Amino acid sequence: MDDNSSLLGNTTSAGNIEHGPSPQQLWTSRFIGAVLFFIGFFGVCENILVLRIFYKTKQLRSPTNIFIMGLAISDLCMASLGNPLATTSALYGEWFAGEFMCYWEGFVVYFFGLAELYLLTAISVDRYIVIAKPLKSSIITKRFAVLSVLACFAFGALWAIFPFFGWGSYGLEASKVFCGLLWEDTGASITSYVITIFLFCFIFPMALMIYCYLQIYLTIRHMNKTMAFDKKSRIAKKNMKVERKMLKSCFIMCGVYWLCWTPYSVVSFMQTFGDPHAIPHIMALLPAAAAKSEVVWNPLIYVATNKQFRQAFYATLPCKGLQEKLVKREEEQEQSSKESDLDEKTVVTTQVNQVTSGAAPSASQTQIQTVSINVAAADMNETGPTNVDC
């Protein structure tokens, strides 16, 4: 434990250093360690699979999917570089790897964790521009997407590097198992850094995500009310299905963000502005593990629900029989909705023809018609709205 003495000097008492965790705390830590092992295993496997599908399927490399590729890279780095030390430490019952590796884990977790938050925010802005502001969707090019992904990683690195230059610091968290920001230090430098990252790395991304997805939902809802068709028709039912899917997507994305990071933020604030020794050991461990679990949920949300990704995934399965069965089921589902999709496309095309043959449409009408085409294409392909010029 000598290697840890300087690191632990400001974060725990000498008694804790000498005696270590109690038997109850040890078993709690080992349980969390087992959970983190599976999180790391599935996180690495899922994100490698995502990147492999991108590598083998060139048609998936759209501007929007470039953001998802960046998310997969960040999740993979988090799971492979940050998870092993946290898992081993939890199984051991306390931090074991010394001061340098504690700084390393803190940097890795915050670098890739913040990059993920900015990437999630960038994805929501991308969807907002393409769906709610379709006349501006031409700015979302592959080059723009790549630069945006690099900017997300740069912002994550910027916030994670500040503690090395005196603004904030890395050290043991309240559990004495994981390393991260030194929340317990009440100095002006630590306190100002904590408040700043809470605003710019939690509140602002969360608020922007909610705004973007709310506007997407309202845009599609307005479009459904504006389009002329019988609400008892198959087209009306189809559009209501699109609206429900969009609302569900908003709820999942914002909900996972809250579930993964809010408990950790609350505990961190308690360490900074309250009594860190009053936090139960399990309550210090669970929020950190929940935040690290985002590497598992992101691929499921952004990839597993996409039809083209599913089809590309089927092609990677080693069992040909299972592959054919899954592809057949996918084709049957597509065939069952094909007639409604064609009807919907015909209605949208007719509306556009009527506008082009008559007076020039207003800006709001043009936007509604563009969104209509985008939603029709998105619902048929499940790959996100396409950029169509009206």
So what's the pLDDT on residue 229?
53
Q: How far apart are the first and last CA of the chain?
A: 68
The answer to whether position 225 is within a domain reads yes
Helices 320-357/307-316 angle, 10° precision: 150
Which CATH number goes with the domain that contains 91?
1.20.1070.10
So what's the pLDDT on residue 161?
94
So what's the pLDDT on residue 357?
52
Instruction: Provide the residue range defining the domain that includes 171.
Output: 2-306
The answer to whether position 188 is within a domain reads yes
The answer to whether position 109 is within a domain reads yes
Q: Residue 179: enclosing H or E segment and its boundaries?
A: strand 179-181
Task: Give me the half-sphere count of Cα atoms (radius 13 Å) on the Cβ side of residue 39.
Answer: 25
Domain count within the chain:
1
Rounded (10°) CA dihedral 314, 247, 291, 105: 70
C-alpha pair distances (Å), 338 with each of 188, 344, 378: 62, 10, 13
The answer to whether position 311 is within a domain reads no
Closest CA to 138 of 370, 355, 363, 380: 370
Is residue 53 within 8 Å of residue 309, measured between CB atoms?
yes
User: Residues with Cβ < 8 Å from 374, sequence gap 6 or more?
Assistant: 130, 131, 134, 385, 386, 387, 388
The answer to whether position 363 is within a domain reads no
3-state SS, residue 24: helix
User: Residues with Cβ < 8 Å from 23, sequence gap 6 or more?
Assistant: none
The answer to whether position 23 is within a domain reads yes
Triad 55, 59, 61: Cα angle to 5°: 60
User: Residues with Cβ < 8 Å from 84, sequence gap 6 or more?
Assistant: 40
Task: Give me the half-sphere count of Cα atoms (radius 13 Å) on the Cβ side of residue 359.
Answer: 4
User: Residues with Cβ < 8 Å from 306, sequence gap 6 or more?
Assistant: 382, 383
Amino acid at 117: L
Task: Give me the half-sphere count of Cα atoms (radius 13 Å) on the Cβ side of residue 234.
Answer: 12
User: Residues with Cβ < 8 Å from 73, sequence gap 6 or more?
Assistant: 47, 51
The answer to whether position 390 is within a domain reads no
Closest CA to 152 of 31, 66, 247, 25: 66
> What does the alpha-carbon distance between residue 78 and residue 155 come to, in Å, rounded to a whole number?
16
The answer to whether position 236 is within a domain reads yes
What tens-digit pLDDT sequence spans the chain (390 residues)? Answer: 344 444 444 444 333 344 567 888 888 889 999 999 999 999 999 899 889 888 888 888 888 889 889 989 998 999 999 889 999 999 988 888 888 899 999 999 899 989 988 988 898 898 888 888 888 888 889 999 999 999 999 999 999 999 998 898 898 887 888 888 887 777 788 888 888 988 888 889 889 988 988 888 888 778 777 665 555 556 656 655 655 565 566 567 677 877 887 888 888 878 777 777 778 888 888 888 888 888 898 778 766 667 777 777 777 777 777 777 777 777 777 666 555 555 545 544 554 455 445 555 555 555 555 555 454 444 444 444 444 333
> What does the alpha-carbon distance between residue 175 and residue 336 come to, in Å, rounded to a whole number?
53
Closest CA to 261 of 182, 205, 321, 187: 205
Amino acid at 56: K
The phi, psi pair for 340, rounded to 5°, reads: -65, -40
Q: Exposed e or buried b for every residue in 249-288, given b needs 16+ CB within 10 A?
A: bbeebbebbeebbebbbebbebbbeeebeebebeebbbbb
Is residue 347 within 8 Å of residue 235, measured between CB atoms?
yes
